[in-house]
């Protein structure tokens, strides 16, 4: 089964790369929100795809690798903490909803996107020691939901195609 | 995509829109500009007094905060990404401009009681 392992690691490695690229492209889009680390959440598509194709262990692994590499390549100590917190909040909810099968990929992505932003907001709130950051919550809910919807619809199509490619 | 997903989407959007309206309703008046550098309070300035605040942090990096006409913005910064500069203008209470690499946080607050007035200790 060595062949299977190599295939899986290669595939996951490629997805990590795409994830890092997406993260970089995202960071070029400046959002009018003062909270550092707030992104559109497009790179979540990678996490969702792996969650559905390989399960939560691999998804967690890829998430961790992607965050660490992105932080070391493009970020700083701060951005690592923000990314980690957002990713943890997002992933816990996504894995739970996926397991409970409450929503389809789209719903999972939407909740993942929203929870990511909420996680970032929490870290920001703690670092400035104030509830004032909640001012940005409504905007983040909306942008998280929209990004999540786009990610979910794309992931829905991609998962089927990627599964076919992987199994061939 | 199931019907549940669409319902979820609209629920969140509606909650967000409601949140924006409630936020505008209970918005406090912008009173002061609180600047913290390297985690500690650097200064508090009235938003109504035109001001140019030059900041140098412990790593000798510089930021320039402009306060004029009740607006606040980051005029310049020597950080690599300059997200803080590109962010533009803030004028409402609780809005924030943050230069993460230089550890500068500019917040608009209502009164000058200090950064702990929102969380009791």
Q: Give the tens place of pLDDT for each residue, B29-67.
A: 778 888 988 888 888 888 888 888 888 888 888 889 988
d(Cα B31, Cα B44) in Å, to the nearest integer?
10
ipTM above 0.90, yes or no: no
Tell me the average pLDDT of chain B. 84
User: For A23-27, which contacts have Cβ atoms below 8 Å and span 24 or more sequence positions?
Assistant: A23/A66, A23/A70, A23/A74, A24/A70, A24/A73, A24/A74, A27/A74, A27/B81
Q: pLDDT 10s per residue in chain A (168 long)?
A: 667 789 999 999 999 999 999 988 988 887 777 787 788 889 999 999 999 999 999 999 999 999 999 988 887 777 888 889 999 999 999 999 999 999 999 999 999 999 999 999 998 888 877 788 888 999 999 999 999 999 999 999 999 999 999 888
Taking the whole predicted model, whether its pTM rises above 0.80 is answered as yes
Mutate to test the interface with B, among A70, A132, A140, A142 (most CBs of B within 10 A): A132
Contact A131 B118 (CB under 8 A): yes
SS3 state at A41: coil
- Would you say residue B117 has pLDDT above 60? no
Check if A125 contacts B (Cβ < 8 Å): no
Give the closest of A34, A128, A139 to B87, CB-based: A34
Which one, of B121, B90, B95, lies nearest residue B109 by Cα?
B95
Q: Following DSSP, what letter does each residue of chain B receive, concatenated?
A: --HHHHHHHHHHHHHHHHHHHHHHHTPPPP-EEEEEETTEEEEEEETTS-EEEEEE-TTS-EEEEEEETTEEEEEEE-SSS-HHHHT-EE-STT-EEEETTTTEEEEEESSSS-TTSSS--
Closest Cβ opposite residue B1 in set A30, A106, A137: A106
**Record: contact A76-B90, CB cut-off 8 A:** no
Closest chain B C-alpha to A36 CA, distance in angstroms = 6
């Amino acid at each position: 089964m060595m062949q299977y392992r190599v295939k899986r690691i290669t595939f996951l490695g490629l997805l990590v790369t795409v994830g890092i690229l997406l993260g970089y492209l995202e960071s070029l889009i400046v959002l009018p929100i003062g909270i550092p680390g707030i992104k559109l959440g497009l790179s979540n598509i990678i996490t969702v795809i792996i969650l559905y194709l390989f399960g939560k262990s691999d998804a967690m692994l890829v998430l961790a690798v992607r965050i660490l590499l992105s932080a070391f390549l493009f970020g700083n100590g701060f951005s690592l903490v923000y990314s980690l917190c957002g990713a943890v909040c997002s992933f816990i909810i996504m894995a739970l909803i996926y397991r409970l099968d409450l929503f389809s990929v789209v719903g999972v992505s939407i909740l993942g996107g929203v929870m990511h932003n909420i996680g970032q907001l929490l870290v920001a709130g703690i670092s400035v020691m104030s509830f004032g950051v909640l001012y940005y919550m409504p905007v983040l809910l909306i942008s998280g939901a929209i990004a999540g919807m786009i990610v979910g619809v794309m992931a829905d199509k991609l998962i089927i195609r990627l599964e076919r490619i992987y199994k061939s | 995509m199931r019907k549940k997903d669409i319902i979820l989407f609209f629920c969140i959007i509606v909650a967000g829109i409601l949140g924006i309206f409630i936020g505008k309703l209970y918005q406090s008046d912008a009173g002061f500009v609180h600047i913290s550098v390297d985690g500690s309070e650097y200064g508090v300035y009235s938003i109504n007094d035109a001001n140019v605040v030059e900041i140098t942090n412990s790593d000798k990096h510089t930021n320039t905060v402009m306060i004029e006409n009740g607006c606040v913005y980051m005029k310049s910064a020597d950080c690599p990404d300059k997200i803080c500069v590109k962010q533009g203008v803030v004028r409402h209470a609780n809005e924030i401009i943050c230069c993460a690499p230089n550890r500068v946080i500019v917040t608009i607050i209502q009164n000058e009681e200090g950064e702990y007035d929102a969380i009791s200790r």
